[in-house]
């Protein structure tokens, strides 16, 4: 039998204070960020609007403060922070210093 505690402890977690980078989505669009910007999660993301007829789903987002101002692929910006879907975030190793 697999030890659940070990599996959970080994998996990187998301939450306030976690350093992350935004990965490129598989399909490019103007909404994408240029490169793979880095930052820190500063709050849970705002709940997205949903139709009352649809299930809530498990879409999670986080408010990320970028390490430096970022631009969208279509040129909009600069943005100091943004709400980003957890599916596009990857936890990063902490920066010493």
Average pLDDT of span 67-79: 94
pLDDT classification of 60: cutoffs 50, 70, 90: confident
pLDDT classification of 82: cutoffs 50, 70, 90: very high
How far apart are alpha carbons 73 and 21 in whole angstroms? 16
pLDDT tens digits for 15-59?
A: 999 999 999 887 888 788 988 899 999 999 876 554 444 444 456
Question: Among all chains, which residue has been given the structure tokens 């299930």?
Answer: 55
Instruction: Report the pLDDT value the prediction gives residue 18, as an integer from 0 to 100.
Output: 95
Residue 14 scores a pLDDT above 70? yes
How far apart are alpha carbons 23 and 89 in whole angstroms? 6
Q: Bridge partners of 39?
A: 20, 66
Instruction: Report the pLDDT value the prediction gives residue 5, as an integer from 0 to 100.
Output: 45
Instruction: Report the pLDDT value the prediction gives residue 93, as an integer from 0 to 100.
Output: 80
Instruction: Report the pLDDT value the prediction gives residue 25, as an integer from 0 to 100.
Output: 80
Question: Among all chains, which residue has been given the structure tokens 């669009």?
Answer: 29
């Amino acid at each position: 039998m697999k030890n659940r505690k070990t599996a959970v402890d080994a998996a990187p977690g998301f939450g306030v204070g976690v350093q992350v980078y935004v990965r490129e989505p598989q399909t490019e669009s103007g909404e994408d960020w240029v490169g793979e910007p880095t930052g820190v999660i500063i709050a849970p993301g705002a709940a997205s609007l949903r139709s009352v007829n649809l299930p809530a789903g498990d879409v999670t987002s986080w408010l990320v403060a970028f390490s430096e101002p970022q631009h969208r692929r279509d040129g909009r910006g600069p943005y100091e922070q943004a709400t980003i879907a957890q599916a596009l975030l990857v936890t990063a190793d902490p920066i010493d210093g």
